[in-house]
């Protein structure tokens, strides 16, 4: 069930050859390639940063720090399928440093009002667009209400589509634990979504 | 039900057999099992329709959720984000980087407040309270000059007069004739002492006067540059606030 859905709707699929050439150009110091990389991945890394810090302003700062770090270590970039997990590992480490430094605690059920104005949607009508934005806002709120480890597993596994092995390696826990936790986290998330839907419906 | 357990597992679950080992590895069965356990109480109450609806809602919700989660993969970081990143990662010469940093510092709204604070701090640290200090310094220098120089000369003069009177009296008490050698020596000493005192006075008095004058001028200059609140005068009436007519 999970694999089907995860691999189906991944936005902006990047061709492997195109990504490899982009990585090589960035490693060689090509400014244009770097700008292309930033434009191509800023949405993903910003979303990842947002899942850690829970508000847009901090997420912007954190995403910027992640890009600066990636730029500083660009000669170490790994090509191929390992690139994205490696980028996410760097991003996760920077996020942890960021949270330690600023002692940010993610609010349990705080909903960023900017979520409601999520403009990345491509739906045709304004009504459909609003519904989608509301739905995303609700999903993000439900995600933030999960425990840190469950949220991280769902974000890395179900949102960003990393493999079980990559998530396990990144979090430093066995693959079996990731699988069972992911399953539990999905059920927990579904219950939170149901509860939030009921609350918003009543309100 | 869209989240179906495999037939073997379903049979085991329904037969109430332990399936923990299988549930460890099979996410679908695990989801089904969770839904089953959540609704089992309802099942026992023989409300089969409610149980089936509950399972259906949970499993369909889970399916929908799994399909929706990838839509959160990207978020718009807002305008200007790319430029910010490129600004921090571009290879600029050091002067340009420092210029940009300086401009960014200066363009902040609170820069004027910070600059004024730092300037005031420096001014106070270097000059203290300049007007009051200089006014105090002027009067103090004058007092010290008067006390040390003039007072010392006066004391020495008084000592010399006393000494001379005693020498004259002692010499008068002896037999007449020319003055004794002691009196002559005392006279010479007195003249030398007077000459030395006059010389010291000539040397130090202009210096003290010049210093005093300089302090006075500086005090006047500072008073003109930064006027202080005038102390209340004894001849002026007390400043009683008066209400304006209504």
Ordered structural domains, chain A, with CATH: 16-101 (1.10.1740.10), 119-199 (1.10.10.10)
Handedness of CA A99, A101, A105, A110 (dihedral sign): negative
State the smallest CA–CA distance between residue A153 and chain B in angstroms: 12
Which of the pair, B200 or B39, is modelled with greater confidence?
B200
**B197-215: per-residue pLDDT in tens?**
888 888 888 888 888 888 8
Q: How far apart are the first and last CA of chain A?
A: 33
Angle, vertex CA A41, rays to CA A37 and CA A42, nearest 5: 110
Q: Which of A76, A72, A91, A93 is nearest to A23 (CA)?
A: A76
Where are any strands of DSSP class E within B105-168?
none
Residue written as token pair 């005068």: B233
Taking the model in full, what pTM does it have? Answer: 0.51
Using 50, 70 and 90 to split pLDDT, how confident is the model at B27?
confident
Mean pLDDT check: name the lowest of A145-154, A165-174, B96-105, B110-119. B96-105
Predicted pLDDT at A36: 92
Distance CA(B122)–CA(B130), nearest Å, equals: 13
User: CA-based angle A9:A15:A17, to the nearest 5?
Assistant: 160
Q: Average per-residue pLDDT in chain B? A: 73
Contacting residues of B for A38, CB less than 8 Å apart: 82, 85-86, 89
Query: Residue-wise pLDDT tens for chain A (203 aa)?
Result: 444 333 333 445 467 788 888 899 998 888 899 999 999 999 999 999 999 988 888 899 999 999 999 998 888 888 788 898 999 999 999 999 998 887 655 543 344 545 444 444 444 456 556 667 788 888 888 898 899 899 999 999 999 999 999 999 999 999 999 998 998 898 888 888 888 888 877 55
**A8 contacts in B (CB within 8 Å)?**
67, 70
Could you tell me if the ipTM is greater than 0.85?
no
Show the 3-state SS of B1-70.
CCCCCCHHHHHHHHCCCCCHHHHHHCHHHHHHHHHHHHHHHHHHCCCHHHHHHHHHHHHHHHHHHHHHHH
Q: Mutate which of B36, B57, B63, B66 to test chain A, going by most A C-beta atoms within 10 A?
A: B66
Is the pLDDT assigned to residue B121 strictly greater than 80?
yes
CA distances from B75 to A53, A99, A186, A197, B85 (A): 14, 20, 21, 22, 16
Least confident residue range of A94-103, B174-183, B224-233: B224-233
């Amino acid at each position: 069930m999970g694999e089907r859905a995860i691999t189906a709707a991944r936005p902006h699929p990047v061709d492997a050859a195109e990504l490899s050439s982009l990585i090589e150009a960035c490693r060689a110091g090509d400014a244009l390639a770097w700008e292309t990389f930033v434009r191509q991945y800023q949405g993903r890394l910003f979303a990842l940063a947002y899942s850690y810090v829970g508000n847009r302003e901090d997420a912007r700062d954190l995403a910027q720090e992640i890009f600066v770090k990636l730029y500083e270590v660009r000669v170490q970039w790994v090509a191929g399928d390992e690139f994205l997990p490696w980028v996410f590992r760097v991003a996760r480490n920077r996020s942890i440093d960021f949270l330690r430094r600023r002692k940010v605690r993610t609010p349990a059920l705080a909903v960023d009002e900017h979520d409601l104005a999520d403009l990345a949607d491509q739906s045709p009508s304004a009504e459909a667009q609003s519904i989608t934005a509301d739905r995303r806002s609700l999903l993000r709120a439900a995600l933030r209400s999960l425990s840190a480890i469950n949220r991280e597993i769902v974000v890395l596994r179900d949102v960003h589509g990393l493999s079980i092995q990559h998530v396990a390696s990144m979090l430093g826990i066995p693959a079996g634990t990731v699988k069972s936790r992911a399953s539990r986290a999905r059920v927990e998330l579904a219950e939170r979504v149901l509860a939030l839907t009921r609350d918003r419906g009543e309100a | 039900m869209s989240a179906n357990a495999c037939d073997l597992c379903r049979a085991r679950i329904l037969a109430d057999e332990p399936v923990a080992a299988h549930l460890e590895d099979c996410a679908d069965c695990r989801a089904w099992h969770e839904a089953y356990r959540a609704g089992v109480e309802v099942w026992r109450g023989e409300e089969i329709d409610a149980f089936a609806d509950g399972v259906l809602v949970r499993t369909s919700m889970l399916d929908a959720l799994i399909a929706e989660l990838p839509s959160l993969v990207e978020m718009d970081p807002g305008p200007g984000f790319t430029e910010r990143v490129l600004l921090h990662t571009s290879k600029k010469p050091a002067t340009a980087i420092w210029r940009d940093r300086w401009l960014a510092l200066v363009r902040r709204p609170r820069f004027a407040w910070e600059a004024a604070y730092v300037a005031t701090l420096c001014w106070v640290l270097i000059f203290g309270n300049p007007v009051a200090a200089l006014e105090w310094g002027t009067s103090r220098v004058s007092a010290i000059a008067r006390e040390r120089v003039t007072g010392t000369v006066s004391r020495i003069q008084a000592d010399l007069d006393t000494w001379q009177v005693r020498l004259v009296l002692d010499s008068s008490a002896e037999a007449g004739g020319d003055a004794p050698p002691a009196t002559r020596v005392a006279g010479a000493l007195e003249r030398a002492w007077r000459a030395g005192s006059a010389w010291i006075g000539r040397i130090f008095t202009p210096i003290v006067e010049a210093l005093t004058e300089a302090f006075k001028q500086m005090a006047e200059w500072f008073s003109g540059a930064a006027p202080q609140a005038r102390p209340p005068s004894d001849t002026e009436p007390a400043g009683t606030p008066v209400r304006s007519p209504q």
